[in-house]
Amino acid sequence: MNAMILLDKIDLPESGPAEIQIARSFTIGISATQARRRVNGWLAMKVSTSMLGDTPSLVVADRIVWRVPILFTATHVGPVGTVGSVDVDVESGEILPETANIEEMYCRAEELAQTLPPFKLREVPPEYLAKDIPITPIEPQGNLADFIATLRES
Amino acid sequence: MLYASWNIRFSYDELKTDLRIRPNAGSPLENVRQLSPKGFAVYFQRRGTFANLYGMLERGWPSIVSVQAGEFPYWQEPPTQHAVVVVGMIDDNILVNDPTFADAPLAIPYGDFDLAWLEMDEAFAVIAPA
């Protein structure tokens, strides 16, 4: 696995010779891909359905984390720009929400949105349209809250 | 889309306020909980399964699903977070209403849908009249 590694909180001279020796042992409890997916779920649930995690970098500091860049995306153009990042503990897989400035992400997304072309509804290629599908008319049955309780029990 | 399917009249501006939608920046799925005081039952979770979606459909409740749309065979743009409504499952396909397109529903092979949903940690939400 290739990963970009960033070193944080390393004491360096202002100029002149420098030497860095690193020996840190840790367990990769969550892969970069898993970290990105976990962040995507967090974004969808808690931040916005218009943001997406990008390829993480490994950050070696007091804590070793995956730093997941967060992109603002638009359905008619794709990724528009980076709006922030959030860290994920590399061993536990825990998302560290305090490392994300959510309000700043919203503000940055709003700025980027000003650069977008207008949204237009698109035509889907006909081969992907579901045609001649028998519709099963179903009226909502039961109570969603009761059904959820059964899901939680199982 | 869901309101329309239940013939519920609504004001878009009111809905934007209820769901606390940030202009141009969207809102999170959890904000559906703001609809509870309006007489809706709401549910949301990550790590959803096809069985969850099917169970909801069996009872007449479509699900709002978060997906990485770049995995859909008809998607022509780069990876994008997107939300679609699952309205059916038949043969080897999941049927979705996609607000990016004028026509619906679209048929997506299970494998492609699974990849798109997996990228978003299988997050989904359901709202239904209480």
The ipTM value here is 0.86
Q: Look at residue A55 and tell me if it is in a domain.
A: yes
CA distance A77 to B25: 14
How many contacts (CB atoms, under 8 Å) link A and B? 170
Pairing of the two strands A57-60 and A5-7: parallel
Instruction: Provide the number of structural domains found in chain A.
Output: 1
B30-77: pLDDT as tens digits = 888 888 888 888 888 999 999 999 999 988 889 999 999 999 998 888
Structural domain boundaries, residue A37: 5-126
Best probe of the A interface among B74, B75, B80, B89, by most A CBs < 10 A, is B80
A90 touches chain B (CB under 8 A): no
pLDDT digit of tens for each residue in chain A (154 aa)? 778 888 877 788 888 998 888 888 999 999 999 999 999 999 999 999 899 999 999 999 889 999 999 999 998 888 999 999 999 999 999 999 999 999 999 999 999 999 998 888 888 888 888 877 776 666 667 777 777 777 666 5
B11 pLDDT band, cuts 50/70/90, is low
**Helix, strand, coil share (%) of chain A residues, nearest 5:** 30, 25, 45
Query: pTM value?
Result: 0.86
Best probe of the B interface among A34, A39, A42, A50, by most B CBs < 10 A, is A50
Whether B93 and A130 lie within 8 Å, measured CB to CB: yes
> Omega before B105 cis (within 30°)?
yes
DSSP 8-state secondary structure symbol assigned to residue A25: -
pLDDT of B117 above 90? yes
Tokens 């931040």, located at residue? A47
pLDDT at res. A66: 95
Q: Look at residue A134 and tell me if it is in a domain.
A: no
Residues from chain B that touch A73, judged by Cβ atoms under 8 A, are 79-81
Q: Look at residue A146 and tell me if it is in a domain.
A: no
CA distance B58 to A76: 32
Q: Look at residue A88 and tell me if it is in a domain.
A: yes
Nearest to B128 among A76, A125, A140 (CB): A140
pLDDT at res. A65: 95
Q: Look at residue A151 and tell me if it is in a domain.
A: no
Q: Look at residue A138 and tell me if it is in a domain.
A: no
Q: Look at residue A145 and tell me if it is in a domain.
A: no
Q: Look at residue A60 and tell me if it is in a domain.
A: yes
Whether A79 and B79 lie within 8 Å, measured CB to CB: yes
